[in-house]
Amino acid sequence: MPADELRDEAQAAMGRAGARRAGRAGRAGASTADQGGSAGEHWGLDRDIVEQLTRAVEPARRERIEQRLSEAVQAFQAERFADAARILKPLADQAPGVAAIRELYGLTLYRLGRWRSAIRELEAFETLTASTEQHPVLADCHRALGHWVTVDELWEELRRAAPSPELLTEGRIVTAGALADRGDLRTAIGMLEEGFRYPRSPKIHHLRRVYALADLYERAGDLARSRELFGRIQRDAPDFADVEDRVRALR
């Protein structure tokens, strides 16, 4: 994954709780962070995370945990996933009710291919937040383990939640991939084609969907269609993934 996507993913994990809080009407009083800030803000953490840590951890240990969490974010962004996991494991043990820690730890374990452990952390995040934000990642973990029924269930939950187009696309790609893993390429292709037209100015989630579709067409033996779709991506985003190599291989 490109570095900018990893940065965005880590920042989203750190900021998601704050965004949820901002959508609520009113607050019952000033928080510790509102009363002049804290070490957590110094480490670049979202205020809501600082407040969660304030509730979960005694003051004597809180600043150290905030510092270590900031270091874990930096390690994740730098693709030093083993370092991030080493930092995050004790933090998750010490503050199991802090959703952002469980989420980032789950994403880190996912990057390391530790599917079962990632599932545990991301399910904890889901329980704490009632959020479907990480359903595509959860589904991909279950896909890696061959848990096809669970993949389908997570897709249905995500679809019913009517999330952003970007998140829905990620879930669709994972579910289609699981169908292809089972040998059902026709249904997988149909799932990615359903209701989709290539836009005039494609965004990243459009390109990801078309890339996955082109890959499935190649696996199904329809090289002309695969070549056409990879060619569209190359025209609009020549630096996207390994699209130039894919086009060259299909000539």
How far is residue 102's CA from residue 124's CA, in Å, rounded to a whole number? Answer: 7
* 3-state helix, strand and coil shares in percent for the chain, rounded to the nearest 5: 75, 0, 25
Number of domains in the chain: 1
The band of 50, judged by pLDDT with boundaries at 50, 70 and 90, is: confident
CB 67 within 8 A of CB 74: no
The band of 57, judged by pLDDT with boundaries at 50, 70 and 90, is: confident
End-to-end CA distance of the chain: 26
Residue 241 inside a domain? The answer is no
Give residue 186's pLDDT.
Answer: 97
Angstrom distances, CA of residue 244 to CA of 74, 147, 173, 222, 238: 31, 33, 21, 18, 7
How far is residue 45's CA from residue 170's CA, in Å, rounded to a whole number? Answer: 27
Say whether pLDDT at 25 is over 80: no
> Domain range for residue 52?
1-21+31-131
Residue 115 inside a domain? The answer is yes
The band of 205, judged by pLDDT with boundaries at 50, 70 and 90, is: very high
Residue 175 inside a domain? The answer is no
Give residue 10's pLDDT.
Answer: 53
Residue 238 inside a domain? The answer is no
The band of 30, judged by pLDDT with boundaries at 50, 70 and 90, is: very low
Residue 205 inside a domain? The answer is no
The band of 5, judged by pLDDT with boundaries at 50, 70 and 90, is: low
* CATH label of the domain that carries residue 94: 1.25.40
Residue 210 inside a domain? The answer is no
Mean pLDDT across 80-100 = 94
Residue 2 inside a domain? The answer is yes
**Residue 152 CA to chain centroid, in angstroms?**
18
CB 230 within 8 A of CB 207: no
